[in-house]
Amino acid sequence: MNTQDQSRHETAIEARYLAKIERTAVELANLAGAEIKTALGGMLSVRYKTISEVEEIWQDPVSEVDDNIEELIRARLAKSFPEHDIIGEELDERPARDHDFVWAVDPIDGTANFVNGFPLFAATIGVLHRGRPVAGAIWCAASHELRAGVYHASLGGTLCFNGDPVTPKHNPLVRRHLAGVAAGRSNEGGWEMRTTGSAAIEAAFVAAGLLEAAHFERPNIWDVAGGAALVLAAGGRVMVAGGEGWAPLDKFEAPERGDGAPDLRHWSHSLILGRVEGDVLVSGLGQPVA
């Protein structure tokens, strides 16, 4: 979105209303974080979305905590913004077509890390206005301050961590920066590749300057909507793959369902997020994993 388009979009959403949306997103992210920290002290109940008799191919774990957090968030949103809709990872409820605002929520991104006690997981909340990311709040188990907390921002605002502005520091002596990628990529494009197991954490870390870039191969919308809002607010770039190659993300376009109705829940395009120019991101990370 260019500066003129962003300005128009900001005026389309009343500033106090957008501020209320961001505050609510932060409250919900903190609520999720509190539930996650409480659950870490007990024995977790875990199921798998894909179950096989062959143990090696069990995948996509879901804990009872995921379900509980999403239910809490849905209940809070129904009271705070009854006119808004929500897409959550765990409950297969499609948003209505006539709602301007849609919240995309992943109660725990990085559940495999979470259930194994590996401290790289997040709770991510993104808010879309007619498909455009306008606010995000991501509770991360780790941060640039070496503690858990919420990265948050809204359209035209400032990236913050727990309410304080984040100013990424650039060290000119560091010649090779980090990029978050899926498993299977070797170091390329001048970056050292890292795989964390959480798209939300990688997006938040790009916004905060801990990672210079991140590539996501066809993520779900709830994994990246909040992170896209943070990166854009921090002055970064979000590139999306389409039929004609890579282009700056303007909005999340809902694909049509079988009945011809658009459905944001089934959005799935590859994304690159970064703090360098879009052509640099695409040339370095734009090729799919072999």
Q: What is the mean predicted confidence (pLDDT) over 70-74?
A: 96
Query: What's the pLDDT score for residue 4?
Result: 44
Mean pLDDT over each residue of the chain, to the nearest integer? 88
Q: What mean pLDDT do residues 165-177 have? A: 90
Average pLDDT over residues 9-37: 92
- At which residue do the structure tokens 């695409």 appear? 282
Determine the Cα–Cα distance for residues 129 and 138; give it in Å rounded to an integer: 18
H helix and E strand count, the chain: 7, 15
**Whole-number Å distance between alpha carbons of 173 and 268:** 38
Q: Which residues contact 248 (CB under 8 A, 6 or more apart)?
A: 1, 237, 238, 239, 240, 278
Could you give phi then psi for residue 194, rounded to 5 degrees?
-135, 140
pLDDT digits (tens, 9 = 90+) for 85-123: 999 987 766 665 668 999 999 999 998 899 889 999 999
pLDDT surpassing 90 at residue 34 = yes
Amino acid at position 278, single letter: G
Average pLDDT over residues 243-268: 85
* Between 50 and 124, residue with greater pLDDT: 124
Q: Which residues are annotated as a binding site for Mg(2+)?
A: 89, 106, 108-109, 223
Say how far apart CA 283 and CA 263 lie, in whole Å.
Answer: 31
Q: How is residue 276 written in tokens?
A: 């360098």
Distance of CA 283 to the CA centre of its chain: 23
Between 247 and 289, the higher pLDDT residue: 247
- For residue 56, the model assigns a pLDDT of 46
Residue 224 has pLDDT above 50, yes or no: yes
Q: How far is CA 26 from the centre of its chain?
A: 14
Domain ranges of the chain: 3-285
Q: How many CB atoms lie under 10 A from the CB of residue 29?
A: 26
Query: Is the torsion defined by CA of 102, 108, 109, 111 positive or negative?
Result: negative
| Angstrom distances, CA of residue 165 to CA of 64, 152, 222, 233 | 34, 9, 24, 11
What is the rounded distance in angstroms from the CA atom of residue 202 to the CA atom of residue 213?
Answer: 8
147 sits in which H/E element: none
C-alpha triplet 85, 201, 84: angle, nearest 5°: 10
Mean per-residue pLDDT, 281-288: 87
For residues 171 and 121, give the distance between their C-alpha atoms in angstroms, rounded to a whole number. Answer: 27
Inform me whether the pLDDT recorded for 21 exceeds 90: yes
Average pLDDT over residues 154-166: 98
Enumerate the known binding-site residues: 89, 106, 108-109, 223
On the 0-12 / 13-18 / 19+ scale of CB atoms within 10 A, 96 is: exposed
Give the number of C-alpha atoms closer than 13 A to the C-alpha of residue 102, restricted to the C-beta side: 26
DSSP state of 256: B
Mean pLDDT of 269-288: 92
Count CB atoms within 10 A of the CB of residue 72.
15
CATH topology of domain 3-285: Fructose-1,6-Bisphosphatase; Chain A, domain 1 (3.30.540)
Q: Can you state the angle between helices 221-233 and 199-208, rounded to 10 degrees?
A: 0
